[in-house]
Amino acid sequence: MRNRIYAPVIIWGLIILAGMLRPAGAQDTDPAILEYPQTALKGFVTAEFSRSASDCRTICEQRTGCVGFDHSARNMCRIFAAVASGQSDLGFTAGTRNRIRGYRDPANLDVKELTPPPEQDTWHYAQFSDVDFYGGDLFPKGLQVHDPALCASACETDSSCHAYTFNAEQNRCFLKTGHQFVQGVAGVTSGMYFKAKQSEATIQLNAEWDLFLQSDLPGHDIGEYPARTYDQCMRQCEGVSSCAGFTWVYGGRKDHCYLKSGPGLYPARFKKGMVSASKINRDVYPDFVRPAASRDQHGD
């Protein structure tokens, strides 16, 4: 019985002695106490003694080993080395250094502060194989480049460039401010920059045409039209419901567009002077996506 009477007194004496040995200035860096009114704690109690509520809080704040305390209406203070949970009790008030898991929010902590800030859009780079970005060229004839990595680097160092297409067959690099539509074409590498939240940094594009360089689509002709550009020939095909593809012949006295019906359109390779395309509807995905430096020219 005597041991039970004096055990709290001995513990209290050790607490006072430890307080005298506490390094100067340590209180300045102690974490704040989270307040839980009408709450009793459950956990590992290291000390229990009669003190006011304010003294109980101060003692816990000054002890790095104290993770929480509670104070009862009978003026009893309990110091905890570990807090397992909290329970509602009108006769108690409690404080902890950390939030009590699975319990209500502290009274002195704004729940809004616990909500992470909204994720911001940042720039990302996506690279595609066998994909051509049509339109938006900074230089209509492109740049003479022999390596797709050099083309990608040229776009990266020019903040006005938001996409590029490298044609390995022609060794041409086309830097772009953007693109009008997407085509599938073998041997072409393309890249683009886009803004997205980090958690949503994925991209899916839709290819509307399969492009065949230096190729014809033999047979299946449904009409012949004059066309000075590839784009004009494409628009002719789009304007005819039965058109499934086209071959544009260029470089002669008159450039002509041959519209084709399908299915059964298969390209045949020629040396020069023609290019063909067939209508498709295919989703294309990047080889990879990585974070990129800002492309904003004015820091917005």
Q: Taking the model in full, what pTM does it have?
A: 0.60
Residue 4's pLDDT band (boundaries 50, 70, 90)? very low
Residue 131 pairs with which residues in a beta bridge?
Answer: 184
pLDDT in tens, 6-24: 444 444 444 433 443 333 3
Q: Which residue has the tokens 């055990």?
A: 7
Among 238-242, 246-250, 253-257, the minimum mean pLDDT is found in 253-257
Distance in angstroms (rounded) separating the CA atoms of residues 65 and 250: 84
Give the per-residue pLDDT at 12. Answer: 41
Strands 34-50 and 76-96, by their bridges, are: antiparallel
pLDDT in tens, 111-153: 655 566 788 999 999 999 999 999 999 998 999 999 999 999 9
Is residue 200 predicted with pLDDT exceeding 60?
A: yes
Give the per-residue pLDDT at 119. Answer: 86
Beta-carbon count within 10 A of 25 CB: 7
End-to-end CA distance of the chain: 74
Give the per-residue pLDDT at 112. Answer: 59
Distance (Å) of CA 206 to CA 17, 45, 119, 197, 210:
74, 64, 27, 21, 11
Contact in structure between 132 and 211 (CB atoms under 8 Å): yes
